[in-house]
Amino acid sequence: MTNAVDLEKRFGAANYAPLPVTIVRGEGVHLWDDKGRRYLDMLGAYSAVSFGHCHPRLVRALTEQAGRLDILSRVYSNDRLGPFLARACELTGMDRALPMNTGAEAVETALKAARKWAYTVKGVAHDRAEIIAAEGNFHGRTIAVTGLSTVAQYRDGFGPFPPGLVLVPFGDAAALEAAITPNTACFLVEPIQGEGGIVVPPQGYFTDVERICRAHDVLLICDEIQTGLGRTGKLLAYQHEGITPDGVTLGKALGGGLFPVSMFLATDEVMGVFNPGDHGSTYGGNPIAAAVGLAALDLLVEDRLVERAADLGDYLLARLNALDSPAIAEVRGRGLFVGIEIHERAASALDVVEALMGAGVLTKETHRNTVRLAPPFVIEKAEIDEAVDCLAEVLDDITAEALAPSASH
């Protein structure tokens, strides 16, 4: 009988190269493969599983709503959406929210809002609005945001890209100010670059960015799809510098790891550019998504998971910084959003990831030869110790192998 992986390879597009493990079950911070082996999940589905796998409260919200009312589209109002939007605005301090499904859709929504704001509020000439983003960014896979990428593979074969897309170095506020023109609509930026290698900007960067955007009448939009909802030890990562952007995108953890839920939140001025028919989504804001999203936000607050991520993040970073391994070039991150950059002369990050998988710890490499760690917030310190101890052993083995004299012939 053909197994599931063979069917995936035969009938699926080859746009992923999964690690050689087939997961069949998850609970909390653990995953089990088709052979019954248990693994510690240190990836958390790129921050989507912040609450742990199959959290009973979230599963209950999903199943109860699915048994009562499923999808309407936004042709009619439903009784779940309003409370969800109100809770999201209350927690983030934004005035209005526009729900979508995926992070990429939330970013596209933000860019459409920024462009229309530029024309209808700022007074930019028709079709001249510019979007500025940071080099090394990852805002999704759509044509527009691929045009803002600096990763050659992400762009190769997908052009031509829309005009009006500008890039500046991440962490360089002076470069941002130099790139702004009268046509600039917004600066779209991740508070910490995730896919770019868990890159934390210099302290004070976002304070300067906010000042520059205000001075030049440019919208500041923070992409918090990976970093938001407690991941870095604050509800939103931009709060580490106490700034207030004009808009923010949320996704991943917003769906509790169970359902695709995203949204763009913004001020009244920005969101006011939308009129009925300007933008929409068949599934965006559906009752199941709203019920799960509201339950996720309530759980985040009631179980004090943001504070938990801050405490456990400090513990994880302390453990990692105490490792005495020549294979480690740098440890970066905030909260439970951490990257370990591996010296290229020692090993590839993929080698480390594969060795960790063999030791029962699942994660994934990213750019700058970095191993990323973004476990669920329900992880315990003993499980962090388990993961770090496994990493130490893997790095010791890799270092010993790299330094071993070549066999003579």
- Residues serving a catalytic function are 138, 223, 252
Token duo for residue 318: 């302390």
Contact between residue 118 and residue 174 where contact means Cβ atoms under 8 Å apart: no
In SS3 terms, 286-347 reads as: CHHHHHHHHHHHHHHHHCCHHHHHHHHHHHHHHHHHCCCCCCEEEEEEECCEEEEEECCCCC
List the helix and strand counts (H, then E) for the chain.
13, 15
Instruction: Work out the widest C-alpha separation in the chain, in whole angstroms.
Output: 77
Residue 40's Cβ-count burial label (10 Å; 0-12, 13-18, 19+) is buried
Q: Walk across the sheet containing 370-373 and list its strands.
A: 328-334, 337-342, 370-373, 364-366
Beta bridge partners of 248: 222, 265
Closest CA to 251 of 233, 234, 231: 231
Helix pair angle (381-403, 305-321), 10° resolution: 30
Burial of 11 (0-12, 13-18, 19+ CB in 10 A): exposed
CA 202 to CA 164: how far, in whole Å? 27
Residue 276 identity (one-letter amino acid): P
What number of CA atoms fall less than 13 Å from residue 93's CA on the CB side? 10
CB 356 within 8 A of CB 362: yes
53 vs 404: CA distance, rounded Å: 41
- Structural contact between residues 190 and 223, judged by C-beta atoms closer than 8 angstroms: yes
CB atoms closer than 10 angstroms to residue 20: 9
Phi then psi dihedrals of residue 186, to 5 deg: -155, 160
Q: Which residues of 313-337 are buried (b: 16+ CB within 10 A; e: fewer)?
A: bebbbebbeebebebbbebbbbbbb
Name the token pair of 6. Answer: 């063979």
